[in-house]
Chain A
Amino acid sequence: MRDAWLIAGFDLRESIRTRRALVLALLYLLVASITSYIYVEVVKLAQEAASEVIGGMGDANEQLAATAAAGAAQDAGYTGLLYVIAGGDNVIAGHLATYPAMVLVFAWFSLGALPWLISLTSYDLVAGDLHQRTVRFVALRTSRGAFVLGKLLSQVLLVAMIAGLGMIPVLVIGGAFLPRFDFLGSFLALLATWPILALFAFAVLGPVACASQLVRGPGAARALALFFLFVLWILGVWAAFTPGLSALQYLTPFAYKTLFFHPDLSYRLLNAAGCAALCAGYTWLGFQVFRRRDL
């Protein structure tokens, strides 16, 4: 484990200095900013539209009733949206409602974008070193297992860092444009979503690490990682709607998003364990090839 942490630390320091990491971090920041801004604009438009309609009413009682009705309609719409996001689970939908809406939008956007972001940042975690033969400097000093584990940990940390950076635009844009933005509450909620993103990254990194160990060239590894994720996504959707086969969706990372928002801690822990197991399983599959391959 010591060697794995050493490799993780070294690889992380190397990764964050690459142009690719910088571009992807900026891309993530940009998309997080755009998402936050769109949310702000939608909220503003809804408020303006409601004020316009309510302002046109002469009677104060009517205005009060209309305000209440508009609020109720917005709440109903939001609750419906949460119900859809929660995959039809009322308990999870109820818990989602406890998060500040802007944080939830960011978290959901991140969980949706992470698989593709990871496949673009981490595809060469092993294949890159194989291609350049950099692995030969390390292979005489530690086991192949420690090498793969170290690389995996470094990518989780990298993704967590990039996801952490993405929180900044949420706070900045929310604070700047929303008059009643709860900065502290949002910050704490963002902090609470951070481990969720890191744990979900584990689940996605499994198939990506598997692909990276199966082939030698980074280009082939990227194509294979994207292919794996696409196939798993299709499998997840198909399994979810096929009676009797719904358990198959837990072979895909995409099944592990909503349960992180279950109010019961045991569900969340079980989900985290599922992410780790998925990562370990796929990585292990790839390792069966890597441990025997010529370096």
Chain B
Amino acid sequence: MTAPALALAAVHKRFGAVHALRGVDLRVPRGSVFALIGPNGAGKTTLFSVVCGFLRADQGTISVLDGPPDVMRFKGRLAALPQDAVLGRELTVREHLTFLARLQGMSPETARREAERVLAIVDLGELAGRRAGTLSHGQVKRVGVAQAFLGDPELILLDEPTAGLDPRHAHDLREALRSHRGQRTIVVSSHNLQELEAICDEAAFIDKGQTLESGAVSALTAQDAEVFVVLAPGPEPVEHLRAHLGDVAIEWDAQSRVLRVSFQPGPDSAAEDVIAAVLRELLTQGARISGVGKGRSLEQRYLEATR
């Protein structure tokens, strides 16, 4: 088993009386796109800052790319989009990116090429010559994302990368992140859980400075152990199902008209088999089906975890 790209154990960080991180544990597998999910003030940005070495943890152990956070060790291997950092106003976007690329050890020519490449990722090629101080909030955010891709680092931390982006650019960025799946380790924090569900393989819920749950998104959302059926108004044969389906747990929410069936996954009881069995029984009882799916949404799981 390869070592995780990022591993934190019992990490604490205090700011005076505020205990921002209260023993965070986290393992981010290499090559995964990892979602860090939590409400405002949960400690996500503090966690990113601790991993990057911007903040020093008071307690706990942190391993970033097989070692402690040390800028000279992970120079060019770790990049981040810091949430509140501001670029200087006077120089152009290209000058900023070329400078940062050169700090990663690139030659002037390579740095210029690299700047153009990462600007293309965020669709900002035509603004390369613009002064950073004249960019809109969304454009600044995209430049921030672009600098995180300079040199194609092994581990990229993106704190709220799509916040403030218009839908098209948010979509393009999601696609760009998705295209890095399996090649680079990317940790993303966002409040848009649908977005995270679409692009992430792994996730962790953190709240009040603690990790509540973490694991593969498919496991967190019970993709392999739960199915749901949305019934249109009409018959509600819930008791019939309970009597005729074997070893499953059935939950019926009359208000949303969602029927949830939890089961133990096995070779003969994949989600698709259970869906088929449930639908067969429901249709024989004259139920009208308006939707079918597997698992729960990440949003539902998050709400349950943070309740």
Residues of A within 8 A of B (CB): 3, 6-7, 10, 13-14, 17-18, 132-144, 292, 294-295
Which chain B positions have C-beta within 8 A of A294?
A: 49, 54-56
Are A142 and B75 within 8 A (Cβ)?
Answer: yes
By DSSP majority rule, is chain A's interface helix, strand, loop, or mixed?
helix
Are A142 and B88 within 8 A (Cβ)?
Answer: no
Are A138 and B86 within 8 A (Cβ)?
Answer: no
Which chain B positions have C-beta within 8 A of A139?
A: 52-54, 71
Are B99 and A6 within 8 A (Cβ)?
Answer: yes
Top 3 closest A-B pairs, CB basis?
Answer: A17-B90, A141-B103, A133-B85
A20 CB to closest chain B CB, in angstroms?
11
Are B76 and A14 within 8 A (Cβ)?
Answer: no
> 10 A-B Cβ contacts within 8 A?
A6-B102, A10-B91, A10-B95, A14-B90, A133-B85, A134-B87, A137-B100, A294-B54, A294-B55, A295-B49
What is the count of residue pairs linking A and B with beta-carbon distances less than 8 angstroms?
72
B84 closest partner in A (C-beta): A133
Are A133 and B91 within 8 A (Cβ)?
Answer: no
Are A143 and B72 within 8 A (Cβ)?
Answer: yes
Measured in the bound complex, the distance between the Cα atoms of B52 and A18 in whole Å is 30
Interface extent on B, as a size class?
Answer: 20 to 34
A292 closest partner in B (C-beta): B56
Are B95 and A137 within 8 A (Cβ)?
Answer: no
Interface string of B27-68 (1 = CB under 8 A from A): 000000000000000000000010011111000000000000
Are B82 and A137 within 8 A (Cβ)?
Answer: yes
Are B85 and A132 within 8 A (Cβ)?
Answer: yes
B147 closest partner in A (C-beta): A137
Measured in the bound complex, the distance between the Cα atoms of B91 and A3 in whole Å is 18
A131 closest partner in B (C-beta): B86
Which chain B positions have C-beta within 8 A of A138?
A: 100, 103
Measured in the bound complex, the distance between the Cα atoms of B82 and A132 in whole Å is 11
Which chain B positions have C-beta within 8 A of A141?
A: 71, 75-76, 100, 103-104
A39 CB to closest chain B CB, in angstroms?
36
19 additional contacts (CB under 8 A) given A140-B74, A141-B100: A6-B99, A6-B103, A13-B95, A17-B90, A17-B91, A133-B84, A133-B85, A136-B80, A137-B82, A137-B85, A137-B100, A138-B100, A138-B103, A139-B53, A140-B53, A140-B79, A143-B71, A294-B55, A295-B49
B78 an interface residue at 8 Å Cβ cutoff?
A: yes
B71 CB to closest chain A CB, in angstroms?
6
Which chain B positions have C-beta within 8 A of A135?
A: 85
Measured in the bound complex, the distance between the Cα atoms of B46 and A294 in whole Å is 11
Measured in the bound complex, the distance between the Cα atoms of B82 and A134 in whole Å is 9
Measured in the bound complex, the distance between the Cα atoms of B79 and A140 in whole Å is 7
A264 CB to closest chain B CB, in angstroms?
42
Are A3 and B103 within 8 A (Cβ)?
Answer: yes
Measured in the bound complex, the distance between the Cα atoms of B100 and A134 in whole Å is 12
B54 CB contact (under 8 Å) in A17, A134, A142, A295: A295
Are B104 and A134 within 8 A (Cβ)?
Answer: no
Measured in the bound complex, the distance between the Cα atoms of B90 and A13 in whole Å is 8
Measured in the bound complex, the distance between the Cα atoms of B75 and A295 in whole Å is 17
Measured in the bound complex, the distance between the Cα atoms of B103 and A10 in whole Å is 11
B131 closest partner in A (C-beta): A17
A132 closest partner in B (C-beta): B86
A17 closest partner in B (C-beta): B90
Q: Known contacts A6-B102, A13-B95, A295-B55: does B88 contact A140 (CB below 8 Å)?
A: no
Which chain A positions have C-beta within 8 A of B88?
A: 14, 134
Which chain B positions have C-beta within 8 A of A3?
A: 103
Interface hub of B56, B78, B79, B100 (most chain A Cβ within 10 A) = B100
Which chain A positions have C-beta within 8 A of B86?
A: 132-134
Which chain A positions have C-beta within 8 A of B99?
A: 6, 10
Are A136 and B91 within 8 A (Cβ)?
Answer: no
A14 CB contact (under 8 Å) in B71, B74, B91: B91
Which chain A positions have C-beta within 8 A of B53?
A: 139-140
B131 CB to closest chain A CB, in angstroms?
9
Measured in the bound complex, the distance between the Cα atoms of B71 and A135 in whole Å is 13
A40 CB to closest chain B CB, in angstroms?
37
Are A13 and B54 within 8 A (Cβ)?
Answer: no
Measured in the bound complex, the distance between the Cα atoms of B95 and A141 in whole Å is 16
Which chain B positions have C-beta within 8 A of A14?
A: 88, 90-91
Measured in the bound complex, the distance between the Cα atoms of B16 and A239 in whole Å is 41
B66 CB to closest chain A CB, in angstroms?
17
B79 closest partner in A (C-beta): A140
Are B56 and A136 within 8 A (Cβ)?
Answer: no
A212 CB to closest chain B CB, in angstroms?
16
Which chain B positions have C-beta within 8 A of A13?
A: 90-91, 95
Are A137 and B102 within 8 A (Cβ)?
Answer: no
Measured in the bound complex, the distance between the Cα atoms of B75 and A294 in whole Å is 19
Interface hub of B72, B75, B78, B85 (most chain A Cβ within 10 A) = B85
Which chain A positions have C-beta within 8 A of B72?
A: 143
Which chain B positions have C-beta within 8 A of A7?
A: 103
A11 CB to closest chain B CB, in angstroms?
8
Measured in the bound complex, the distance between the Cα atoms of B84 and A135 in whole Å is 11
Are A142 and B71 within 8 A (Cβ)?
Answer: yes
A154 CB to closest chain B CB, in angstroms?
12
Interface hub of A14, A132, A133, A140 (most chain B Cβ within 10 A) = A140
A138 closest partner in B (C-beta): B103
Measured in the bound complex, the distance between the Cα atoms of B89 and A13 in whole Å is 11
Measured in the bound complex, the distance between the Cα atoms of B84 and A295 in whole Å is 11
Measured in the bound complex, the distance between the Cα atoms of B92 and A31 in whole Å is 33
Which chain A positions have C-beta within 8 A of B78?
A: 140
Are A136 and B54 within 8 A (Cβ)?
Answer: yes
